[in-house]
Structure 1
Amino acid sequence: KGKLILHDGGACDICLNDGACWRNVPETVWNFTIGGYQVIKKWLSYREKPLLGRGLTPEEVRYATEMARRLAALITLQSCLENNYHNVIQTTYLWTNP
């Protein structure tokens, strides 16, 4: 069974077993939710060895790494994206029917 190791400074290690471990993952990435579910935790829960009868493939390990990086980028850009959204809403041209 996997475990989460929290570090001072807002990072954590996500260890599935002795061979698969993602180190120094920002806690904000681990805690990121969509629809009330932690994205990475939920994704990994569907790939547990008892469910699949096998460990993660190298492709799945790479995908999890890429997913964590994409989430980190979204979190980093979140305030800029929010500001841009509000700017677009405020400057939207309203079309009228002739």
Structure 2
Amino acid sequence: MLGAYLKRIFDVTKHGDAREESYYSGLEELINNYAESSGKKKTHVTTLPEKTGRPAARFEGAGDNRVRRYRYSEHEQRVYINETQYFEGITQETWEYQIGGYQVLNKWLKDRKERILSLEDLQHYCRVVTALARTIQIQAEIARLYPQVEQDTLAVELSPKA
């Protein structure tokens, strides 16, 4: 029972999805299995709602986590950090997103060339991808709403004073 729970924790962590709420379902399963095996029939586990949502990217592949020759594959929506390991779920728009003239995801990897990425590094990159993807969504919504807001503002400013 505990071994299955620990394996689940390892699997979640390996994929760069290690938020507190990522472990809730596994913990709930462990508690329910324990309750059932000890004869307790009425067990109810309450978990908090997700705080951050699912990451937009996941880290996959076997290897040493060393950033060697990184590249973006538009067709696969992946950023490879070497021949066998990659972050998946990255749209071209997210990959190309720039702040201050720098392509954010590319620059992050460039600054870590030949470095072995830690679990914390992998999780951080997935969070950056998620933040950029959400930023793109918010900017699109602002762009959609702005013309009407601007028109309403101009109409108020141009209306005769009472």
TM-score (normalised: structure 1): 0.71
Which among 73, 76, 88 is matched to residue 5 of structure 1? 73
Whole-Å Cα distance in 2 between the matches of residues 77 and 20 of structure 1?
30
Deviation >6 Å, runs of 4+: none
- Deviation for aligned residue 1:5: 1.5
Whole-Å Cα distance in 1 between the matches of residues 116 and 91 of structure 2?
24
- Deviation for aligned residue 1:19: 5.3
**What amino acid maps onto 2:138 in structure 1?**
L
**What amino acid maps onto 1:4 in structure 2?**
Y
* Pairs aligned (count): 85
SS in structure 2 at match of 1:17: coil
**What amino acid maps onto 2:102 in structure 1?**
Y
Structure 2 residue 107 is the aligned partner of structure 1 residue 25: no
TM-score (normalised: structure 2): 0.45
Ranked by relative contact order (alpha carbons within 8 Å, sequence separation 6 or more), the top structure is: 2
- Deviation for aligned residue 1:48: 1.2
Instruction: Give ranges in structure 2 of 5+ residues lacking alignment.
Output: 1-68, 155-162
- Structure of greater Rg: 2
Is the 8 Å Cα contact of residues 80 and 87 (structure 2) preserved in structure 1?
A: yes
Instruction: Give ranges in structure 1 of 5+ residues lacking alignment.
Output: 92-98
Which among 38, 63, 66 is matched to residue 124 of structure 2? 63
Structure number with higher strand proportion: 1
